[in-house]
Amino acid sequence: MLKEYSDFYSQASAILQRVEETLEDLQFDERKQAVEVFAAQAVSMCQGHCRAISLLLDADLFTDSIAICRSLFELCFNLLWINSTTDEAERLARAYKLEGDTYFHFSKEVKLFEVDVNSESPLTSRERLREINEWLEQAKQDSPYLTASTANGRVEFAHAPPLTERMGQQLRLQYYHIYRFMCLFTHPSPFLRDLYLQHTGRSESPRELAEEPLKRVLSYTLLFVEMVAGNAAKLMLPHAADRTSIVQRCYDELFEITERANKGYFATAGHKRI
């Protein structure tokens, strides 16, 4: 059965590549059209990740594929969060927050190094710390739209709310439990212990134990990829109306793959075209 899912992901990757090729000549302003830029990147990431999952399944590295599924989950609900408001200025602000988020968290780590550099055995030099701070300040100057003023008047990088808040209550109830299950595969956990530690008298192989929940996760992840493709198309196609029919055909093919992969894991009645 995992060979079937490997084929699903290989087909999805090929479809997304066609979408990329159809829209690849679109030119977007990274600041004024950050939402479209995010959507274009999302399609590219989905294309590569789907191909990687297919290869991992073919190599029988079945649990490793879950780490990539987790990345696709986050990508999907980041894009949905951006696109869940009709206010264009707010959509742009949300894209900025997601882009600035990495800088924001990196800055927090740098503040820890600023304390550490005064210790007896610092992990970095003052010179290196100065270079990092200069790099961050230059990033603020180069991309001021990724920053925000704090209550005390400091300029810091903007950042997004936690994933659960970005999802909202309804989507969290529908899908967040899938994400928490994916997280079991990213570090040692009771589930991985039961998979990989040999127990006396156990007849099932790790693959046999994991196959059913794995198929469920793979099925849902294809749904998330489809959601990315549909939302990305809605954001990008106004800039390429002459190619709407091609992208729509690609999306319909992706929808059908998700239907075939479902196997009853999520309600067919709830699976609707975007």
177 falls in which pLDDT band (50, 70, 90)? Answer: very high
Q: Is 270 domain-assigned?
A: no
Q: Looking at the predicted structure, is the pLDDT value of residue 167 above 80?
A: yes
Number of Cβ within a 10 Å radius of residue 216: 17
Nearest partner of 250 among 20, 10, 71, judged by Cα? 20
Distance CA 195, CA 188 (A): 11
Q: Please, are residues 254 and 15 in contact by the beta-carbon 8 Å criterion? A: yes
Residue 98 lies in a domain: no
CB 16 within 8 A of CB 9: no
Look up the pTM and report it. Answer: 0.89
Say if 271 falls within a structural domain. Answer: no
**pLDDT tens per residue across span 115-162:** 999 898 988 899 999 999 999 999 999 999 999 988 888 899 999 999
pLDDT of residue 150: 85
Q: Is residue 221 part of a domain?
A: yes
269 in a structural domain: no
As a whole number of Å, the end-to-end CA separation of the chain is 28
What is the domain extent for residue 62? 2-91+161-263
Residue 161's closest CA among 110, 228, 111, 104? 104
The answer to whether residue 268 sits within a structural domain is: no
- Residue 269 reports pLDDT greater than 60: no
Rounded to an integer, the average pLDDT of 159-167 is 96
Q: State the total domains in the chain.
A: 1
Percent of the chain residues past pLDDT 90, beyond the cut: 75
Going by pLDDT thresholds of 50, 70 and 90, the confidence category of residue 1 is: low
Q: Is residue 197 part of a domain?
A: yes
44 falls within a domain = yes
The pLDDT score that the predictor gives to residue 188 is 79
